[in-house]
Amino acid sequence: MVRIKRGNVARKRRQRILKQAKGFRGKHSKLFRVANQQVMKALRYSYIGRKQKKRVFRRLWIVRINAGARNNNTNYSTLIKKMKMKNINLNRKMLSQLIVLDPSTFLKFISALN
């Protein structure tokens, strides 16, 4: 039976994992077994983080809209209700940007809703 050498393949696989672990602290970036575990954990966290990012930003936009609305004697829920009644399809991200970048336009927007 012919001897099969696979040193190249194994080394390439390990080097790929160690390259992904670059920047981790201590043994987590130097030793293959530990680095492999940490890379798998990091990949799980990054997958979850991409989902959480969407939630976090939506919460931030809602907080900003509520703060802007309260400065103009209304609140978030009534503002959104009036927008739906008037069939205004402006998403929360754009509303939030409007409040941050151009508060005077937002004031005109709210007065137009009433």
Residue 37 lies in a domain: yes
The answer to whether residue 2 is domain-embedded is no
Q: What is the CATH number of the domain that holds 41?
A: 1.10.1900.20
Contact present, 65 and 77 (Cβ < 8 Å): no
107, containing H or E segment? helix 103-113
DSSP 51-83: HHHHHHHHHHHHHHHHHHHHHTT--HHHHHHHH
Number of domains in the chain: 1
- The answer to whether residue 86 is domain-embedded is yes
pLDDT tens digits along 41-53:
999 999 999 999 9
Smallest Cα–Cα separation from 92: which of 67, 65, 69? 65
Asked if residue 35 lies in contact with residue 28, where contact means CB atoms within 8 angstroms, the answer is yes
Domain range holding 61? 9-113
Both tokens assigned to 20 = 């992904």
Average pLDDT over residues 69-89: 94
| Residue 113 predicted with pLDDT over 90 | no
pLDDT at 20: 97
Give the residue from 112, 65, 58 showing the smallest Cα distance to 85. 112
In a domain, 3, yes or no: no
Global model pTM greater than 0.75: yes
- pLDDT at 97 > cutoff 90: yes
